[in-house]
Amino acid sequence: MSNRTSESRRLRTRVAVFACLVLLALGLDQVTKALAQVRLSETNSKVFIPGLLSLRLLRNPGASLGLGSGYTWVISLIAIFASLAFIVLLLRTDSIAWTVALAFAFAGAVGNLIDRIAYAQGFLNGRVVDFLDYGWSVGNIADVYLSFAALAIVALILFGKPFNSLQQAQTERDAGEGAADSQEVNR
């Protein structure tokens, strides 16, 4: 099998993993938001885990912690560009771990973007359906995905997981050169 065929097959696998994760994640996000709108209210909280998590409906025009609520359309445009960037990054990585992290980041961004479009009263100025009340912040499943993706990306970087095989080859070359330089200094 040629190298090009093998690369093509791996790309198809990563795209399939990405698509499946995104579809499942978006489905769960949208179903939980629909249930929240039917079963919860903005005035009453339902304690889920005492002292840790309550369920309360909130329609958030801003970003995390309500920041930027006057600039909802800007947040929407950022989400669109970020989603496109995640797709470009997917096509550039050859790592399944990075693919999973990018899928959750994409699902989180698109999950909240769907709300901003579906509940818009003007150009991209809709409100995101939040219902997970942590006491200090209210979020949704898409926010959980974004947090997970951010933590996963930090972990991948800290543990040196290469984004693609070219990066890995360069790291190995640099390590080999560093070892050779170290041996010459010790002589």
Q: What is the pLDDT of residues 93-126, one digit of tens each?
A: 999 999 999 999 999 999 999 998 888 787 777 8
User: pLDDT at position 124, please?
Assistant: 72
CA dist 156 to 87, 148, 162, 175, Å?
Answer: 18, 12, 8, 19
What span, in angstroms and rounded, lies between the C-alpha atoms of 159 and 73? 36
pTM (predicted TM-score)? 0.82
DSSP state of 67: T
Rg for the chain, CA atoms, rounded: 21
Looking at residue 162, its amino acid is P
Of the pLDDT bands very low, low, confident and very high (cuts 50, 70, 90), residue 75 is confident
What span, in angstroms and rounded, lies between the C-alpha atoms of 57 and 139? 10
Q: Which residues are catalytic?
A: 130, 143
